[in-house]
Structure 1
Amino acid sequence: MTLTADDVHHGYGTDPVFEGVSLTVAPGEVLAIIGPSGVGKSTLLRLLALFDEPDGGAIEFGGEAVWDVSERKRLDYRRRIGMVFQEASLFDASVRRNAEYGLRVRKPWSDRLRHELATLVGRTNGTGDAIDALETVGLREKAEQDAASLSGGEAQRVAFARALAYDPEMLLLDEPTSDLDPRNTAVLEDAVLEARNRGIGVVIATHDMHQAERIADRVAVLLENQIIEVGETERIFEMPRDDRTRKFIDGELIY
């Protein structure tokens, strides 16, 4: 389903964060949100993830305003959205158990039923989508390892696998590689593209212009409480229509 922000207004007290933000992310595309630190990228992702309700406007999933439906139906929408934060938060358990967490919460099957289903579809290890997700981020061989023994980059890859394991329709990423080395960054970027190829819509908030150029199909520029421009990645970087976009990309705007 398409995820949409329609004329969203939001703020904290008397301080506005957004004044009429609108954007759409479709299944099977990567949308990068770029903008300076403190501009509200994380806040926008929280609104899209249905963690917070906007002060005005609407967040829509498949054309339905999600804050106008019952709490039960809104929970169903929320369960179809995965989110990865800037810092991974893992449990004191195995890598596999961490990757399975979202799947267990959203699909609380018994271990026996999960094993039977896995056997029917040819996954005789009984761990189903969690193992597939760990394979996507290159950590299948560490599935039974204690998560506490992982490096920071590996932990972030597990957090990504956890969000991917239950096959969400939308995946929201909040600066997921800002503290990672080039190798871990490359693994996660490849995983983002694989998710897109599976038909998952991806929104990534990033301050890394080169990352946006590498993996995004479209880019939205968030400045001055608004999305000032959104379009195909090449056009945004090569022929921006708003002069503020050009100045931001070229480093002429100081925040």
Structure 2
Amino acid sequence: MIEVRGLTKRYEGRTILDGISAQFGRDEVVALVGPSGGGKSTLLRCLNGLETFDAGTVQVGEHHLSPGGAKARGKEIWSIRQRVGFVFQQWHLFSHRTALGNVIEAPMHVKRQSLREATERGRELLAKVGLSNREEAYPSELSGGEQQRVAIARALAMNPEVLLMDEPTSALDPERVGALITLLARLRTEGLSMVVVTHEMRFAHALASRVLVLHGGRIIEEGPPGEVLARPQHERTRAFLGLTPSGVATASKSPPPAGESPPG
């Protein structure tokens, strides 16, 4: 459903993404893993137009993104975001809105749903993520795990075909990671495709159907998690997973990690 061809992104003289090509299919959960600074979050943000890029294309269904500013690509970005949801690492909930208010905001203002229709759907989604009893709570009254589930419900309110998630486990304790895996596994069985940036290998093992390893702005290895995470072929993947010492000799055979661009 999403196809990336020759994607290149530069920032202040650094190459963040170096000609990446990849496909993300329907009914697939893809984990993007690898050392920090390898381009994972930048790639994720390019998939729905949150980041501009310098060369290559991103195709989502019949819609295309090409190099250029957001203004020039506005119509295509709008169409893509109707199909591709995004859950940010810091969630970015509206502090002055309740959990339910956060979920119904976009359907009402973007899809022009009525208050009644959006509220009914919003309550269904909060129930789906286990927050029926918290719909009137404000973000400051919610735990980190609860805020994250509100953010997921908010993304699902737009009925996306693909959900992009940036480090969804970064602020969660092990128990909450397990609860998130259970929730996302259920959404996967309901037909939701996902692309997830993660440093949590348990998460990738349990949820992903395919793993891409990024290093230095390139995909250096990909395949099923049982192969890539248990029997990696690339020496940099082995070093990242702690399966071999990350010494000078190992590092010298691979390009140094490229830095990622700041959020924006």
Q: Distance in 1 between matches of 2:231 and 2:62?
A: 31
| Alignment: residue pair count | 242
Task: Give the TM-score taking structure 2 as reference length.
Answer: 0.84
Residue in structure 2 matched with residue 50 of structure 1 by the alignment: 49
| Partner SS state of residue 194, structure 1 | helix
| Partner SS state of residue 238, structure 1 | coil
* Aligned amino acid, residue 101 of structure 2: R
* Aligned amino acid, residue 196 of structure 1: R
| Partner SS state of residue 66, structure 2 | helix
Closer, same or farther: CA 177–63 of 1 in aligned 2, 3 Å: same
Q: Distance in 2 between matches of 1:106 and 1:194?
A: 27
Residue in structure 2 matched with residue 172 of structure 1 by the alignment: 164
Residue in structure 1 matched with residue 204 of structure 2 by the alignment: 212
Q: Distance in 2 between matches of 1:195 and 1:101?
A: 22
Residue in structure 1 matched with residue 254 of structure 2 by the alignment: none
Higher helix share: 1
* Aligned amino acid, residue 105 of structure 1: H
Paired residues of 1:67 and 1:74 also in contact (CA < 8 A)? no
Q: Does 1:154 pair with 2:146?
A: yes
Q: Distance in 2 between matches of 1:27 and 1:102?
A: 24
Task: Give the TM-score taking structure 1 as reference length.
Answer: 0.87
Q: Does 1:90 pair with 2:83?
A: no
The percent of aligned pairs where both chains have the same amino acid is 36
* Aligned amino acid, residue 207 of structure 1: H
Q: Distance in 2 between matches of 1:168 and 1:160?
A: 11
| Partner SS state of residue 171, structure 1 | strand
Residue in structure 2 matched with residue 118 of structure 1 by the alignment: none
Closer, same or farther: CA 245–130 of 1 in aligned 2, 3 Å: same
Paired residues of 2:38 and 2:218 also in contact (CA < 8 A)? no
Cα deviation 1:188-238 (Å, max 9, x = unaligned): 222222222222210110111121111111000001220111111111123
Give the Å deviation of 1:83.
0.7
Cα deviation 1:78-116 (Å, max 9, x = unaligned): 22111111112222121111122232233112225x2xx
Pairs within 5 Å for 1:122-137: 127-137=119-129
Pairs within 5 Å for 1:228-247: 228-247=220-239
| Partner SS state of residue 137, structure 2 | coil
Q: CA RMSD in A?
A: 2.1
Q: Distance in 1 between matches of 2:199 and 2:104?
A: 30
Cα deviation 1:44-79 (Å, max 9, x = unaligned): 111012112221111111264333896324311122
* Aligned amino acid, residue 87 of structure 2: V
* Unaligned runs of at least 5 residues, structure 1: 115-125
Q: Distance in 1 between matches of 2:85 and 2:183?
A: 14
Q: Distance in 1 between matches of 2:143 and 2:10?
A: 36
Residue in structure 2 matched with residue 25 of structure 1 by the alignment: 24
| Partner SS state of residue 233, structure 2 | coil
Q: Distance in 2 between matches of 1:245 and 1:105?
A: 44
Residue in structure 1 matched with residue 177 of structure 2 by the alignment: 185
Q: Distance in 2 between matches of 1:49 and 1:70?
A: 11
Q: Distance in 2 between matches of 1:73 and 1:104?
A: 21
Q: Distance in 2 between matches of 1:79 and 1:61?
A: 11
Q: Does 1:105 pair with 2:109?
A: yes
Deviates more, 1:62-71 or 1:94-103: 62-71
| Partner SS state of residue 184, structure 2 | helix
Paired residues of 1:137 and 1:188 also in contact (CA < 8 A)? no
Give the Å deviation of 1:180.
1.0
* Aligned amino acid, residue 111 of structure 1: L
